[in-house]
Amino acid sequence: MSLRARLTIFYTAVLAAVLVLFGLAVYGLISVVLLRQVDTTLERTARDLIFVARVDDEGNFILSQRVSLDSSVITQIWDSEGHLVGVNPSVEPDSPLRSPLDPENLTATDEVFRSVTVGETPYRVYTVPLITGGESIGVMQLGSSLRIIEGLRADLVRYLIVLSGIAILIAGMFGLVIGRRALVPLGAVTETALQITRADDLSRRIPIQAGPEDEVGKLITAFNDTMGRLEKLFATQRRFVADIGHELRTPLTVIRGNVDLMRRVGADDEQSLHSIELEVDRLARLVEDLLILAQAESGKLPMGRHRVEMDTLLLEVFNQAHVLSGDRVSLEIGKIDQVLICGDRDRLKQVVLNLVANAIKYTGDGGTVTVSLSKDGERAKFSVKDTGVGIPSDDLPHVFERFYRSDKSRTRGKDGAGFGLGLSIAYWIIRNHGGTIEVKSKVNKGSTFTVWLPLATKDCAEPTTSDLRELPRAVAQPERIS
Ligand code: ADP
C-alpha cells in the first residue's frame, strides 16, 4: 500500500474516531438537557397542582381553581391503597394511562423521576408522595411522553451519521489530493535516484522546489549532500588508483629497462643492479606508506598510549635532521618547553621527522628551518617553520590529501622525489592522537606547519622500552634532498 494511501487512511480513521466521540458527546449532552427540561415541566406542574387538585365523586381528577397546565402532562392521583382516585379527564376509561404510570413507586415516600414505557410509549414519570398531617395518603404521578424527544434524538443520530460521513469523505478526498501534492517531490527524488543509477552519473542533483525548510526539502538537501560526498569519494578513489598506477609505472619501467639492458649485454651490470635496487626500495616505501595510510585512515593503525617527552623527541629529530640539511640550510631551535604528550612515540617522531624533512627539502640554499615547542592551554603546540619556496594558496587546502604535491613538475620523477603521502600520514597520526595539524604558507616566503596535541593526563602510562625503538622507516635519506 502506498504511503499516500496509508497516510490518508490513518488521518481519516483519526477523524472518524474524533467525530464518533464528538457525536456521542453531543448526543449525551442533548439527551440530558432535553430530559432535564421535561423534568422541570413535570416538577412545575406538580407544584401547581398540589394546591388546586381535587378528586370528584367519580374519581376524576378536577381542579378547584383554574391553572394553566401543560396539556401534555398526564396526572394520576393514587390513594394509599393503590386505588386511582384521580386522573386527567381526557384519559379514556380503557386507556393504559389509567394503570399506574410507575407501578414500582406507588408507595414511594420520596419524590422520584423515572423513565418507563407505558403501552409502547416511553414516558418520563415524576412521583410525588401526598402527605397530610405527617401521614401518607397516596402519591401523585405525573407523566410526560418522551416520544418527541426520542424522535429528536433519532433525528440527531441520523444527522450526525450523515454529516460525519460527508466530513470523512471530504477529508479522505482532500487527504488523497494533499498527499499526492506533498509527495510529488518524493517521486522526483526516486526518479532522480533511478536516473543516477541508470546513467551512472553521480553529478546529478535533485532541484529543490519547495522551501528547503520543509521535510521533503531537508530530505532532498540530505540526498544531494550524500550524492556530493559520494561523487567526491569516487573521484578521490579514481584519482588514487590513477596516482598509484603512475607511481608504479616509473620504477617498473626503470627496472624493466635495466633488466633488458643486462640481458642484452649478457652480464650483470653493477650500475643497473644499483638502479633496480633503488627502485625496489622506492616501491617498498610506497607500499609501506600506503599500508600505514590505509590503517591510519580506518583508525586501525596500532597506536601506543604512553607518556612521550616531546622536547626530548624534538631534539632527537633536530640532531638527526642535521644530516639532511648539511650546510645548505640552517637548522634552528626556537622556544622549547618541557611538554608531555600521551601517545605513540614512534608515530609522533615520524610526523616531526616528516615535517622537518619537508621543510629542509623545500627550502633553498641559505634558508632557515626553525623548530619550536610550547604549551598552549591544555594543549602542546609545536611548529616547523621554514623560509623556503612556500605553497601556493590554491594548493594549501589539499596538501594533506593523498598523493598531493603542490608543484608536480618540481618533484615528480626526480630522483628521491616523495610520493605526496607523508603529510597525509602525518595528518592521520595527529588525528588519531586527538590533535590537529595546520599549515600557513606564502610562496617564496616560507611555510609553517603547526601541530596541536592534548597534553598527557595522569592516567597516561609510563613509557616502555619499545617506545624507544627506532622507526623502521627512515623518513628521508640525505641523498634524496636536492
Ligand atoms: P612529499 O613526499 O611529496 O614531500 P608530502 O605529503 O610530505 O609529500 O607533501 C606534500 C606536498 O606538500 C609536497 O609535495 C610539497 O609540494 C608540499 N610541501 C610539504 N611541505 C612543504 C614545505 N615545507 N614547503 C613547501 N611545500 C611543502
Give 290 Cα–ligand 1 centroid separation in angstroms.
17
Residue 189 lies in a domain: no
Ranges 231-240, 381-390, 467-476: which has the least confidence: 467-476
What number does the ligand 1 atom closest to the CA of 389 have?
A: 25
How many other CB atoms sit within 10 Å of the CB of residue 402? 22
Distance of alpha carbon 348 from its chain centroid, rounded? 38
Same domain, 118 and 13: yes
Shortest-distance Cα residue to atom 19 of ligand 1 = 358
Three-state DSSP at 188 gives helix
Whether 374 and 425 map to the same domain: the answer is: yes
Q: Which domain holds residue 251?
A: 215-297
With contact defined as beta carbons under 8 Å apart, do 276 and 322 qualify? no
Please say if the pLDDT value at position 447 is more than 80. Answer: yes
Is pLDDT of 63 > 90? Answer: no
So what's the pLDDT on residue 113? 95
Task: Write down the mean pLDDT value for the chain.
Answer: 85
Whether residues 263 and 134 fall in one domain: no
User: Lowest mean pLDDT: which of 147-161, 230-244, 411-425?
Assistant: 411-425
Least confident of 206-215, 218-227, 332-341, 385-394: 206-215
When pLDDT is averaged across residues 413-421 and rounded to a whole number, the result is: 66
**Does 223 share its domain with 335?**
no
Answer whether residue 184 is part of any domain: no
Alpha-carbon gap, residue 298 to 301, rounded angstroms: 8
- Assess if residue 190 is contained within a domain: no
**Confidence bin at 466 (pLDDT 50/70/90):** low
What pLDDT sits at residue 54? 66
Residue 312: give its domain's CATH number.
3.30.565.10
Q: Which atom of ligand 1 is nearest to the CA of 424?
A: 6
Residue 247 within a domain: yes
215 Cβ neighbours under 8 A, 6+ residues apart: none
Residues 316 and 463 in one domain: yes
State the closest ligand 1 atom to the C-alpha of 406, by its place in the atom list counted from 1.
16
**334 touches 374 (CB < 8 A):** no
397 is a domain residue = yes
Closest atom of ligand 1 to 420 CA is 8
Quick one: pLDDT band at residue 410, thresholds 50, 70, 90? very low
Rounded to an integer, the average pLDDT of 10-31 is 93
231 contact partners, CB below 8 Å, separation of at least 6: 202, 203
Q: Please indicate, yes or no, if residue 175 is contained in any of the structural domains.
A: no
The residue assigned the cell 586527538 is 434
| 83 has a pLDDT exceeding 90 | no
Q: Is the per-residue pLDDT at 169 higher than 60? A: yes
In the chain, % of residues over pLDDT 90: 47
Q: How far apart are CA 383 and CA 249, in angstroms?
A: 36
Strands 368-376 and 330-336, bridge-based pairing: parallel
Are 245 and 363 members of one domain?
Answer: no
| Mutational pocket test of ligand 1: of 395, 423, 451, the residue with most ligand atoms within 8 Å of the beta carbon | 423
Pocket test for ligand 1, best of 286, 384, 394, 405 (most atoms within 8 A of CB): 405
Atom of ligand 1 nearest to the CA of 388: 24
The proportion of the chain whose per-residue pLDDT surpasses 70, expressed as a percent, equals 89
Gap from CA of 365 to ligand 1 centroid (Å)? 17
Residue 72 shares a structural domain with residue 125: yes
Point out the domain boundary residue: 136, 151, 166: 151
Q: Is the pLDDT of residue 404 over 90?
A: no
Q: How many domains does the chain have?
A: 3
**pLDDT over 50 (residue 200):** yes
User: What CATH code is carried by the domain that includes residue 42?
Assistant: 3.30.450
Answer yes or no: do 283 and 314 share one domain: no
The reported pLDDT for the residue numbered 296 is 85
Query: Are residues 112 and 23 part of one domain?
Result: yes
Same domain, 352 and 472: yes
- Which amino acids bring their CB within 6 angstroms of ligand 1? 354, 358-359, 362, 386, 388-391, 399, 404-407, 411, 418-424, 447
Residues contacting residue 184 through CB under 8 Å, at least 6 positions apart: none
Pairing of strands 121-132, 61-63: unpaired
Q: How many CB atoms lie within 10 A of CB 9?
A: 14
What average pLDDT score do residues 119-123 get? 89
Q: How far apart are CA 357 and CA 426, in angstroms?
A: 12
Provide the whole-model pTM.
Answer: 0.59
Ligand 1 centre to CA of 313 (Å) is 22
If residue 453 lies in a helix (H) or strand (E), which one and from where to where?
strand 446-454
| Domain final position from 104, 121, 151 | 151
Question: Cell digits for 385?
Answer: 617553520
Domain boundary among 111, 126, 151: 151
58: cell is 367519580
Higher pLDDT, 46 or 90: 46
User: What is the pLDDT confidence band of residue 60, given thresholds at 50, 70 and 90?
Assistant: low
**DSSP string for residues in 355-417:** HHHHHHHTS-TT-EEEEEEEEETTEEEEEEEE-SS---TTTGGGTTSTT--SSHHHHTTSTT-
Question: Which atom of ligand 1 lies nearest, measured to the CA of 363?
Answer: 24
Longest dimension (CA), the chain: 158
Distance 280 CA to ligand 1 centre (A): 23
Contact 239, 210 (CB under 8 A): no
Q: Higher pLDDT residue, 105 or 197?
A: 105
Q: Whose CA is nearest to atom 4 of ligand 1?
A: 418
- Dist. CA 284 → ligand 1 center (Å): 20
Strand, coil or helix: 81: coil
Are 355 and 450 members of one domain? yes
pLDDT at 415 over 80: no
pLDDT at position 287 is 92
Clarify whether residues 286 and 312 are in a common domain.
no
Q: What is the pLDDT of residue 68?
A: 61
